[in-house]
Amino acid sequence: MKFMIVGKASAETEAGALPSQELVDDMHAYNESLTKAGVLLAGEGLYPSSYGAQIAYSGGRASVIDGPFTEAKELIAGFWLIQVKSREEAIEWALRVPVPPGAEGVGLDVWRVFDAADVPDDSLPPQERAREEALRERLGVEDPDA
């Protein structure tokens, strides 16, 4: 199962403040432990929302809203994509994420990532399954059932 651990933004991350060297070192150690365990698929920090954009839809039309965005508590500062055996294991890994001193409130979300492998074979037409497998092969993504 794939899970995404999403790190919430704070006033500091939205201001573009770099974390302390101690926190950077702790994050490197955490990422290394994920790698050694063979569960890390991807992980990145994100720039503040002032570098981002949102796409909003109204009346069938898309419009672009440039950052920064006002609700920092609803923004994300980074993520880890992991492959583990269960939701409980994903939560165990999330509980190990180093946090800065004084962190308060919700700091992480843990979301299961929907994968084509989660769809029963008999509910996906063969041509759709073949197309999904071909895309995964081109992207170099391993079969999650393998």
Task: State the DSSP string of 100-140.
Answer: -TT--S--EEEEEEP-GGGS-GGGS-HHHHHHHHHHHHHHT
Residue 35 has pLDDT above 80, yes or no: yes
Least confident range of 11-20, 47-56, 112-121: 112-121
Distance CA 49, CA 30 (A): 25
Distance CA 142, CA 129 (A): 15
Q: 134 falls in which pLDDT band (50, 70, 90)?
A: confident
pLDDT at 146: 47
Closest CA to 112 of 140, 81, 136, 143: 81
**DSSP state letter for 143:** P
Amino acid identity of residue 83, one-letter, is Q
What is the average pLDDT across 51-62? 94
Residue with tokens 């702790």: 26
Q: What is the mean pLDDT of the chain?
A: 87
DSSP string over 20-45: PHHHHHHHHHHHHHHHHTT-EEEEEE
CATH number of 2-56+63-113: 3.30.70.1060
Q: 26 falls in which pLDDT band (50, 70, 90)?
A: very high
Least confident range of 35-44, 116-125, 127-136: 116-125
What is the average pLDDT across 13-31? 92
Residue 11 has pLDDT above 60, yes or no: yes
Q: 65 falls in which pLDDT band (50, 70, 90)?
A: very high
101 upstream amide cis, omega within 30 of 0? no
